[in-house]
Amino acid sequence: MRPVFTLLMAVAACAVPAEAAERPQLNRLAGPVAAEVLRVVDGDTIEVRAHIWLGQEVTTLVRLGGVDAPELKGKCADERAAALRAKARIEEKLAGGDVTLRDIKFEKYAGRVMSRIEIAGGEDLARSLKADGFVRAYGGAKRLPWCGTDG
């Protein structure tokens, strides 16, 4: 199963290859994959060094699955402030530097993969951030605005 992950990571910066579209098992990896957090990009994306095999590591961006976070370049001051708070909370939660990636799949934007991210003690990062009000659940439909109706 690990060689499949290597393939996934190698093509993550490109579009999903035609072969993967024909073979759905190439679009997902159950994990677990141990990873070291290199930096927090924003309220739903981190950069990691994933340990995919003995002596094999891949650096990639990982989007936190199942959540919508406010954007750092949001439409209003309230959204941008909320985005900074979400990012700071993730930095606090990931201070230990190590995470476990599960349910890994291709992300449609920015050469990332999407994953469930577990932190120390098996805590689900998305669940924790949702419970604390930093992000909200997201299932792929149109995103709800973070600003008032007038933007």
Distance CA 91, CA 89 (A): 5
User: Mind giving me the DSSP string for 68-114?
Assistant: E---TT-SSHHHHHHHHHHHHHHHHHTTT-EEEEEEEEE-SSTT-EE
Domain topology for 2-137: OB fold (Dihydrolipoamide Acetyltransferase, E2P) (2.40.50)
Q: What is the pLDDT of residue 12?
A: 43
Tens of pLDDT, residue by residue over 85-112, are 999 999 999 987 899 999 998 877 667 8
Give the pair of three-digit tokens for residue 111. 């050469």
Q: What is the pLDDT of residue 52?
A: 86
Q: What are the structural domain ranges in the chain?
A: 2-137
pTM strictly above 0.75: yes
> What is each CA distance from 63 to 24, 109, 121, 131, in whole angstroms?
20, 10, 21, 18
Banded pLDDT at 1 (limits 50, 70, 90): very low
Q: What is the pLDDT of residue 8?
A: 41
Number of H helices, E strands in the chain: 4, 9
Q: What is the mean pLDDT of residues 39-63?
A: 92
pLDDT beyond 70 at 143: yes
Q: What is the pLDDT of residue 6?
A: 43
> What is each CA distance from 61 to 9, 19, 57, 106, 126, in whole angstroms?
10, 22, 13, 11, 16
Least confident range from 8-22, 50-64, 95-109: namely: 8-22
Distance CA 65, CA 139 (A): 9
